[in-house]
Chains A and B, each alone.
Chain A
């Protein structure tokens, strides 16, 4: 229906927004949200290339594995963040600098 470039540029915009979130946020959960945006941008690219590359379903399989990875990553990352909160009383990533002191 639309051309490949439209979807690729949407993916690029989402990737950039996610990257901006990852590098500017202090809260670890907000950083995690930025990572989710980046993963979704990658997924849009996989599906777009699958659609405009002759409806190749391998791209869909890869997108599905990316979604599985995102679920795993979110579960483990939140477990780590909760541990951080229990130990330090904060979830700001720039305050978790005990190793530096």
Chain B
């Protein structure tokens, strides 16, 4: 019972803060709501027994990407503007299209005959993920590291002032 309550509280936190990310007129408020969305999604991962991915979500999204986004905001707006506002355009048409897409997706989800395999709760996923990464997915793992290096060099080269 308590677990169900916590689950729906996390769902509410995730969806409301995600809505605030796209509706707020203040860029800093959007960034802070994004923080709560990421934390809520990490909570949902915990409910789906994905402990390693939940920790990765907190470390990389909250600790890395969000800090990067806030750096981006600070570097691209005059810091004297305390209220960094940003307007939205064509909200009506955008909302209409988004709601139509949501209705289509929900109809597809509800009517599809998903084949669910019930399995016991695992005691931890880290060992299994490690084995898969080092055996079945070794090449994508190495390619991802090369991609990270390329992005590091590329981003540093792009963001440098002057040529």
Contact = CB atoms under 8 A, between A and B. Distances in A.
A26 B25 CA distance: 11
B76 A85 contact: yes
A74 B65 contact: yes
A12 B48 contact: no
How many B residues are at the interface, by size bracket? 35 or more
B2 to A, nearest CB: 12
B75 A85 contact: yes
SS class, residues of chain A in contact with chain B: helix
A47 B158 contact: no
Nearest to A90: B76
Given A17-B21, A29-B69, A71-B148, A82 B159 contact: yes
B38 A3 contact: no
Interface string B4-42: 000100010011001101100001001100100110010
A25 B86 contact: yes
Given A37-B34, A47-B45, A64-B129, 13 more contacts: A23-B97, A26-B87, A27-B27, A27-B86, A29-B27, A29-B69, A33-B30, A36-B65, A50-B50, A52-B117, A76-B151, A76-B155, A79-B156
Interface of A: 1-5, 7-10, 12-21, 23-27, 29-30, 32-34, 36-37, 40, 43-44, 47-48, 50-55, 57-58, 60-61, 63-65, 67-72, 74-76, 78-83, 85-86, 91, 94
Interface of B: 3, 7, 11, 14-15, 18-19, 21-22, 27, 30-31, 34, 37-38, 41, 44-45, 47-50, 52-53, 56-57, 60-61, 64-65, 68-69, 71-73, 75-77, 86-91, 94-95, 97-99, 101-102, 105-106, 109-110, 114, 116-119, 122, 125, 128-129, 132-133, 136-137, 140, 144, 147-148, 151-152, 154-156, 158-159, 161
